[in-house]
């Protein structure tokens, strides 16, 4: 009986982070057991990310953003996770940016990875592209996840189309609605 009470007290004092706790992060999306994206987490949420077994954090925005965590790289490393920074210009995302990201992720992502930017617009777009172009996820499935975060503006639609074209893929799919972007040259 005493052992049972001790276990109960221990568990109450040391709660484990749950996946639900990560849903508090802006626009959090879990695509698989190894891959999630979101907007900017707080330093406390980075601890919860580590507690969920994430091994790597990839940041796709600039470090001088108003909501960026000061010294995020140091915070992540002190938590024992790898940190990769790929500064993607909001107004000019490039194929080279995506290729750098794809190289970091690899063809078979075996590290539990948390990808983020400020509000998950960049990150959800890169997630969409990685899942479709590298992992072979059906475009409609990945597009539905992207739609859950945002409808890419003209700049980002052009970027998405350019990356898919580079991988001999198209934005066209039965059931995909890109809005007025479908008609952009």
Would you say the pTM of this structure is higher than 0.95? no
Q: Which CATH number fits domain 17-171: 3.10.20.30, 3.30.565.10, 3.90.190.10, 3.30.70.100?
A: 3.90.190.10
* Dist. CA 9–CA 12, nearest whole Å: 5
What was the pLDDT predicted at 62? Answer: 96
CB 116 within 8 A of CB 34: no
The pLDDT tens digits of the residues spanning 30-78 come to 999 999 999 999 999 999 999 999 999 999 999 998 889 999 999 999 9
Q: Does 5 score more than 90 pLDDT?
A: no
Tokens for 94?
Answer: 């490039």
What was the pLDDT predicted at 119? Answer: 96
**What does the domain layout of the chain look like in residue ranges?**
17-171
Q: Does 185 score more than 70 pLDDT?
A: no
Q: Order of strands, edge to edge, in the sheet holding 82-85? A: 29-32, 35-38, 113-116, 56-59, 82-85
20 falls in which pLDDT band (50, 70, 90)? low
What was the pLDDT predicted at 182? Answer: 58
Q: Does 1 score more than 90 pLDDT?
A: no
The phi and psi torsions of 57 (rounded to 5 degrees) equal -120, 130
Burial (CB < 10 A; 0-12, 13-18, 19+), residue 17, is: middle
* Dist. CA 111–CA 160, nearest whole Å: 24
CB 68 within 8 A of CB 61: yes
Q: Among candidates 6, 81, 8, which has minimal Cα distance to 45?
A: 81
CB 93 within 8 A of CB 124: no
């Amino acid at each position: 009986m005493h052992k049972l009470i001790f276990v109960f007290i221990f568990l109450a004092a040391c709660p484990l982070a749950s996946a639900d706790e990560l849903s508090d992060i802006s626009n959090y999306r879990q695509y698989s057991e190894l891959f999630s994206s979101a907007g900017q987490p707080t330093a406390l949420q980075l601890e919860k990310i580590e507690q969920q077994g994430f091994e790597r954090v990839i940041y796709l925005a600039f470090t001088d953003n108003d909501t960026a965590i000061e010294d995020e790289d140091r915070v992540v490393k002190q938590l024992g996770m790898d940190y990769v920074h790929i500064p993607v210009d909001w107004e000019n995302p490039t194929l080279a940016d995506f290729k750098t990201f794809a190289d970091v992720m690899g063809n078979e992502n075996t590290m539990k990875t948390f990808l983020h930017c400020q509000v998950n617009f960049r990150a959800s777009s890169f997630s969409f592209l990685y899942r479709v172009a590298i992992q072979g996820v059906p475009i409609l499935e990945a597009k539905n996840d992207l739609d859950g975060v945002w409808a890419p503006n003209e700049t980002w639609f052009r970027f998405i189309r350019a990356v898919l074209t580079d991988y001999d893929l198209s934005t066209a799919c039965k059931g995909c609605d890109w809005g007025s972007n479908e008609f952009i040259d």
